[in-house]
C-alpha cells in the first residue's frame, strides 16, 4: 500500500464521517474528484505514488476544508 492510496482512504473516511447523508457523500467525493482531476473513490492499493497526483489531492483537500496528515 502506497502513500497515495492511504491519503485517498483517509480523505474518504473524513468525507463519510462529516457527511449528513448518502447523497452528501456522493457530492463531496464528486467535488474532490473534479477538483483533483481523478476519481478518488477508484484509487486502489496497487496505484503507484504519483507525486503530482498526491500534490493535487492535498491541494483539493485543503481547498475543500479537509486536513490530511503529513
Partner 1 sequence: MSIRLKVLLSITLIFVVGAGVIVLALNQNYTKTLNAETASVLSGAQANLDALQQADTNKLASTLAAKEADPKIRDLYLARDRNALFAYVSPQFAAMKKDFQITHWYFERPNPPGTIFLRVHKPAQFDDVLKRKTYLQSVKTGGYASGLELGATAVALRVVHPYYAADGTTIIGYMELGEEIASFVKQLNQQTGDQYGLYLKKSGLDEKSWSAITSSTPGAQQAWTDAQNWVLVGSTDAWGETSDSEAGVPASLSEPTSLGQKANILYGAVPIKDAGGDVIGVLAFSHDVGAQVSALSQAQTQVLGIILAMLVILAVAVAILMNALIFNRLKEMTAHMEETSTLLAGGSFDVSYDVKNSTDEIGQFEAFFAQFIGLIASTMRQLTNRP
Q: Point out which residues bind partner 1 (CB under 8 A).
A: 25-34, 39, 41-42
- Residue 23 CB, shortest distance to partner 1, in Å, is 8
Cell numbers found for residue 56: 493535487
- Residue 37 CB, shortest distance to partner 1, in Å, is 10
- Residue 65 CB, shortest distance to partner 1, in Å, is 16
Angle at CA 24, nearest 5°, toward 5 and 59?
45
Give the nearer residue to partner 1 in terms of CB position, either 22 or 48.
Answer: 22
Amino acid at each position: 500500500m502506497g502513500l497515495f492510496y492511504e491519503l485517498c482512504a483517509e480523505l474518504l473516511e473524513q468525507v463519510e464521517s462529516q457527511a449528513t447523508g448518502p447523497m452528501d457523500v456522493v457530492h463531496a467525493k464528486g467535488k474532490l474528484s473534479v477538483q483533483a482531476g481523478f476519481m478518488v473513490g477508484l484509487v486502489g492499493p496497487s496505484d503507484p505514488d504519483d507525486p503530482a497526483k498526491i500534490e493535487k489531492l492535498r491541494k483539493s483537500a485543503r481547498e475543500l476544508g479537509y486536513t490530511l496528515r503529513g
